[in-house]
Chain A
């Protein structure tokens, strides 16, 4: 059974960057895409982007274009999400999730990491 294990909580100052990792165990990492989703305190879910580890191709939400970079290392079954130019509004729990295709064309997130808390404060 696939599990996604995320790196620990981070504290950053405004203007800096943060890199969160997501290690896949118990499954074939490169078979499926990985998405990154965040949730600010008391708020809803927001998709940042995703990557297909097989091809190394990433796509990003328009709101985060230019500020987020998602990469994958198939040799270690690890996906990474780097967010730069941090501001206080980026304080949130960041989740990775397996983004699995359904033959009809839908993609759904069926396995989630437990989340990484990123706090941005001066």
Chain B
């Protein structure tokens, strides 16, 4: 099975900050990597697919990059509605999620 390792597991940031989350795959997965946002009590929401493609309707402050084993997700200017948990997910073989990164208010 492909393992996905996210870091950090949590972070504290202020509105307007730039936030970066990394995700590492245990083997090469090309760009078969997606990012989701989840708020308490809600289903996950797709933000980025194919490592860097912005899902329709998602604000441009969200972005993703990377290929192979190392990936990065960024929020350019954190907004109040962005405080949530973020997950990476690979689709190269089966599906595996990272353990999540909780973004909290500083």
Contacts and interface: CB of A to CB of B under 8 A. Distances in A.
Nearest to A104: B50
Interface string B73-98: 00000000000000101010011111
A106 B91 contact: yes
Contact of B34 (A62, A109, A114): A109
A93 to B, nearest CB: 9
A95 interface: yes
Nearest to A50: B95
A115 interface: yes
A45 B44 contact: yes
Contacts of B33: 106
A55 interface: no
Contacts of B95: 35, 37, 47, 50, 61, 99, 107
A81 to B, nearest CB: 14
Identify whether the interface residues of B are mostly helix, strand, loop, or mixed.
loop
A16 to B, nearest CB: 26
A50 B97 CA distance: 14
A61 B95 CA distance: 8
B83 to A, nearest CB: 17
Contacts of A45: 36, 38, 44, 87, 89, 97, 100
Most chain A beta-carbon contacts within 10 A, residue among B45, B97, B99: B97
Contacts, number: 75
A5 B94 CA distance: 24
Contacts of B100: 44-45
Nearest to A111: B46
Contacts of B1: 61-62
Contacts of A35: 95
Contact of A110 (B55, B91, B97): B55
Most chain A beta-carbon contacts within 10 A, residue among B38, B44, B95, B96: B95
Interface of B: 1, 30-34, 36, 38, 43-46, 49-51, 53, 55, 87, 89, 91, 94-100
9 contacts: A47-B89, A59-B94, A102-B50, A104-B31, A104-B50, A106-B32, A109-B44, A109-B89, A115-B43
